């Protein structure tokens, strides 16, 4: 489980789907038995002391009206497409539950920035742009070859890396059916590698919870 501050107050907690029921029990023991409301994003838990927890349905899971249903949907096995892209590389995969069953990683060299000015700087900038376009072109072809044939079996597509790079790949008309499955979640990942792709499955399947606790979040 990981935690980070949330914009506007509170904190985001990422929970393994199998631990969601235990986390909800802990929330109830700290704040009192909460009311449960179904929301477009998932479930809202509202405790008697004013604390709230927004349970966001993980990508590809079915919506639910109560905590047992939410947990069942979050833990249910499903096929997720993975697309991690940065300027110099891409990793594409398919996960069945927590297992990576299809994967391919491709990297290209992209010129770094230069301190030189004038024509040299412009030449390096053009070269870097061309290298970036070539790398993202390769990423697009990889997605077409590996993900597009499997699109009908995927519950969702979870992306990670650089948003602009991902947007560029999915802008290809051939990938329109895949883009329709794209989840709102964007994973924060380093340069795509096989190990990074494997680790991304955890982030793709995690339950995101926005917790607000009045006493804890109050200004000091």
**For position 156, what pLDDT does the model report?**
98
Nearest CA to 101 among 203, 197, 204? 197
- What's the mean pLDDT in 19-33? 96
Sheet holding 207-212, edge to edge: 2-5, 11-15, 207-212, 52-56, 42-46, 35-39
215 vs 77: CA distance, rounded Å: 38
Domain map of the chain by residue range?
2-76+206-217, 79-202
- pLDDT-based confidence at residue 126 (cuts at 50, 70, 90): low
Q: Residue 220's CB: how many other CB atoms inside 10 A?
A: 2
What percent of the chain has a predicted confidence (pLDDT) above 90?
71
User: If we measure between CA atoms, which residue out of 106, 178, 101, 97 comes closest to residue 142?
Assistant: 106
Instruction: Kindly tell me if the per-residue pLDDT of 129 is higher than 70.
Output: no
14-28, 50-64, 113-127, 173-187: range with lowest mean pLDDT: 113-127
Instruction: Give the phi and the psi of residue 176 in degrees, each rounded to 5.
Output: -55, -45
pLDDT score of 86: 84
pLDDT at 124 over 50: no
Model confidence at 93, pLDDT cuts 50, 70, 90, reads very high
Q: Are strands 79-86 and 156-161 parallel, antiparallel or unpaired?
A: parallel
CATH, domain 79-202, list 3.40.50.1980, 3.30.420.60, 3.40.50.720, 3.40.50.300: 3.30.420.60
pLDDT attached to residue 109: 40
What pLDDT score was predicted for residue 121?
A: 58
Listed range (7-16, 64-73, 76-85, 103-112) with the worst mean pLDDT: 103-112
Average pLDDT, the chain: 87
pLDDT number for residue 2:
79
> Are 207 and 17 spatial neighbours (Cβ–Cβ below 8 Å)?
yes
Q: Mind listing the pLDDT tens digit for each residue in 154-185? A: 999 999 999 999 999 999 999 999 999 999 99
What tens digit of pLDDT does each residue of 43-80 get? 999 999 999 999 999 999 999 999 999 999 999 999 99
Supply the angle between the helices 118-146 and 163-170 in degrees, to the nearest 10: 60
Q: In 3-state terms, the chain is what percent helix, strand and coil (to 5)?
A: 40, 30, 30
**pLDDT (mean) for 196-210:** 96
Angle at 163 between CA 174 and CA 76, to 5 degrees: 75
Buried/exposed code over 115-153 (b: 16+ C-beta within 10 A; e: otherwise): eeeeeeeeebeeebeebbeebbebbbebbbebbbeebee
What confidence score (pLDDT) does residue 31 get? Answer: 96
């Amino acid at each position: 489980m990981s935690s980070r501050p949330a914009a506007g107050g509170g904190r985001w907690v990422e929970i393994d789907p199998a631990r969601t029921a235990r986390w909800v029990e802990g929330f109830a023991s700290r704040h009192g038995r909460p009311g449960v409301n179904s929301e477009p994003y998932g479930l809202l838990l509202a405790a008697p002391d004013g604390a709230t927890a927004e349970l966001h349905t993980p990508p590809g899971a079915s919506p639910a009206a109560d905590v047992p249903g939410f947990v069942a949907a979050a833990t249910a096995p499903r096929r997720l497409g993975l697309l991690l892209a940065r300027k110099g590389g891409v990793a594409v995969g398919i996960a069945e539950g927590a297992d990576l069953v299809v994967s391919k990683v491709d990297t290209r060299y992209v010129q770094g920035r230069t301190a030189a000015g004038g024509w040299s700087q412009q030449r390096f900038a053009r070269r870097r742009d061309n290298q970036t376009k070539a790398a993202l072109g390769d990423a697009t072809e990889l997605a077409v070859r590996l993900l597009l044939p499997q699109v009908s079996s995927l519950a969702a597509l979870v992306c990670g890396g650089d948003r602009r790079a991902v947007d560029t790949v999915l802008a290809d008309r051939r990938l329109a059916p895949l883009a329709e499955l794209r989840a709102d979640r964007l994973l924060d990942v380093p340069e795509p590698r096989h190990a990074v792709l494997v680790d991304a499955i955890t982030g793709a399947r995690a339950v995101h919870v926005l917790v607000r606790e009045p006493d804890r979040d109050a200004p000091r």
